[in-house]
Amino acid sequence: MGYDHPTYVYWSDEGQFDASDVTELGGHASYGVEAFDLDGDVADELIVPGAWSDSGGQDTTSHVYWGSTHGLCLSDDLSTHAPGEVNVGDLDGDGYPELLFPAPYGGEDATIFWGSAAGYSDDDSSMLGDSWGGWAALLPVGDTAW
Ligand SMILES: [Ca+2]
Ligand SMILES: [Ca+2]
């Protein structure tokens, strides 16, 4: 059984949905999808955590689909460990939110992707360094005052 199940966005038109007005996004049995305006341009981005790899393993790809007035653009693809969900918060106060993906199944590290004007990438990320730190990463970080 594969886990290559996409994520669907149904677009509304004045509060009405039409089943034919749908966008299929990459996804891996994702749940815990978040909409958040990461770059402050008013259009929300869609953060799609990878729940499982296609083969069911923990090495997953999570996606940030960038919002615009024309819909969703191509994604930043991030290497994660079956996070299933994401937390968003500006941990260093520079105005760019960080993405915190837990690693809830153990044996892997939770990952912080640092926000910047260039978006998000594996090259600008930090492991929390504790194989069970994934559970701690499930705490909300969006309204911290530190
Ligand atoms: Ca935005
Ligand atoms: Ca930041």
Ligand 1 midpoint to CA 70 (Å) = 12
Q: What is the mean pLDDT of the chain?
A: 84
Give the pLDDT confidence of 89-143 residue by residue, as tens digits: 999 999 999 999 988 887 778 899 999 999 999 999 998 865 554 554 445 555 5
Q: Are 102 and 135 in contact (CB under 8 A)?
A: yes
Q: Is the pLDDT of residue 76 over 60?
A: yes
- Residue 34's alpha-carbon distances to 1, 47, 98, 136, in angstroms, are 26, 5, 13, 19
The helix/strand/coil state of 122 is helix
Token duo for residue 31: 């749940």
pLDDT for the residue 7: 87
CA of 57 to the centre of ligand 1 (A): 31
From the CA atom positions of the chain, what is the Rg in Å?
15
- Ligand 1 centroid from CA 95, angstroms: 13
Phi-psi label, residue 93: left if phi above 0, alpha if psi -120 to 50, beta otherwise: left
Q: Which residues surround ligand 1, an ion (CB under 5 A)?
A: 37, 39, 41, 43, 67
pLDDT, tens digit (0-9, with 9 covering 90-100), for 37-67: 999 999 999 999 988 877 777 888 999 999 9
pLDDT at 137: 47
The H-assigned helical ranges of the chain are: 133-136
Distance 65 CA to ligand 1 centre (A): 10
Q: For residue range 78-94, list pLDDT tens digits in order.
A: 999 888 889 999 999 99
